[in-house]
Amino acid sequence: MTLPWGLFLALLAVTSAETPGCKIRVTSKALDLVKQEGLKFLEQELETITIPDLRGSEGPFSYNISEVKVNKLQLVQSELYFKPNHDLILYISNASISLHFRRELLYWFLYDGGYVDASAEGVSIHTALQLARDSGGRMKVSNVSCGASVSKMHAAFGGTFKKIYEFLSTFIISGMGFLLDQQICPVLYHAGLVLLNSLLDTVPVRSAVDQHVGIDYSLLNDPVTSASNLDMDFRGAFFPLSEANISLPNQAVEPQLQENERMVYVAFSEFFFDSAMDSYFRAGVLRLELVGDKVPKDLDMVLRATFFGSIILLSPAVIDAPLKLELQVLAPPRCTIKPSGTTISVTAGLVIALAPPDLPQVQLSSMTMDARLSAKMALRGKVLQAQMDLRRFRIYSNQSALESLALIPLQAPLKTLLQIAVMPLLNERTKRGVQIPLPEGIDFVKEVVTNQAGFLTIGADLHFSKGLREVIEKNRPTGDHGPTSSPPQSVAPTS
CATH number, domain of 343, equals: 3.15.20.10
36 with 156, same domain: the answer is yes
Q: Residue 204 and residue 202: Cα distance in Å, rounded?
A: 6
Q: Residue 419 and residue 424: Cα distance in Å, rounded?
A: 7
Mean pLDDT of 236-264: 87
Stronger pLDDT, 81 or 244, i.e. the higher one: 81
**pLDDT reported for residue 124:** 87
Lowest mean pLDDT among 48-62, 65-79, 123-137, 445-459: 48-62
User: Does 298 fall in a domain?
Assistant: yes
Q: The domain that contains 98 carries what CATH number?
A: 3.15.10.10
The predicted-structure confidence for 278-303, as pLDDT tens digits, reads as follows 999 999 999 988 888 888 888 888 88
The predicted-structure confidence for 443-495, as pLDDT tens digits, reads as follows 999 999 999 999 999 999 998 888 888 888 888 877 666 666 554 444 444 43
185 with 295, same domain: the answer is no
pLDDT band at 12 (very low <50, low <70, confident <90, very high): very low
Whether the CB-CB separation of 30 and 264 falls below 8 Å is answered with yes
The contacts of residue 186 (CB under 8 Å, 6+ apart) are 483, 484, 485, 486, 487
Number of domains in the chain: 2
290 with 169, same domain: the answer is no
Q: Residue 335 and residue 331: Cα distance in Å, rounded?
A: 13
Tell me, what amino acid is at 239? Answer: F
Q: Which of 170, 201, 232 corresponds to the end of one domain?
A: 201
User: Does 263 fall in a domain?
Assistant: no
38 with 168, same domain: the answer is yes
Mean pLDDT of the chain: 83
**pLDDT reported for residue 163:** 61
55 with 179, same domain: the answer is yes
The predicted-structure confidence for 234-248, as pLDDT tens digits, reads as follows 999 999 998 877 678
The contacts of residue 305 (CB under 8 Å, 6+ apart) are none
Q: Does the pLDDT value for residue 184 go beyond 50?
A: yes
Dihedral angle computed from the Cα positions of residues 77, 82, 85 and 86, in that order, rounded to the nearest 10 degrees: 30
Determine how many CB atoms are found less than 10 A away from the CB of residue 317: 11
**pLDDT reported for residue 4:** 47
Mean pLDDT of 75-100: 86
- The neighbouring-strand residues paired with 350 are 327, 367
Tell me, what amino acid is at 455? Answer: F
User: Does 483 fall in a domain?
Assistant: no
pTM of the model: 0.84
173 with 46, same domain: the answer is yes
User: Does 261 fall in a domain?
Assistant: no
313 with 195, same domain: the answer is no
The full length of the chain comes to 495
User: Does 383 fall in a domain?
Assistant: yes
Q: How much of the chain, in percent, has pLDDT values that exceed 70?
A: 84
Q: Residue 184 and residue 186: Cα distance in Å, rounded?
A: 6
Stronger pLDDT, 380 or 9, i.e. the higher one: 380
50 with 181, same domain: the answer is yes
175 with 33, same domain: the answer is yes
291 with 392, same domain: the answer is yes
User: Does 271 fall in a domain?
Assistant: no
Q: Does the pLDDT value for residue 27 go beyond 80?
A: yes
User: Does 223 fall in a domain?
Assistant: no
User: Does 228 fall in a domain?
Assistant: no
**pLDDT reported for residue 240:** 92
Closest C-alpha among 127, 102, 154 to residue 45: 127
Q: Which of 154, 171, 201 corresponds to the end of one domain?
A: 201
Q: Which of 201, 234, 267 corresponds to the end of one domain?
A: 201
166 with 304, same domain: the answer is no
Segments forming the whole domain that contains residue 319:
286-437
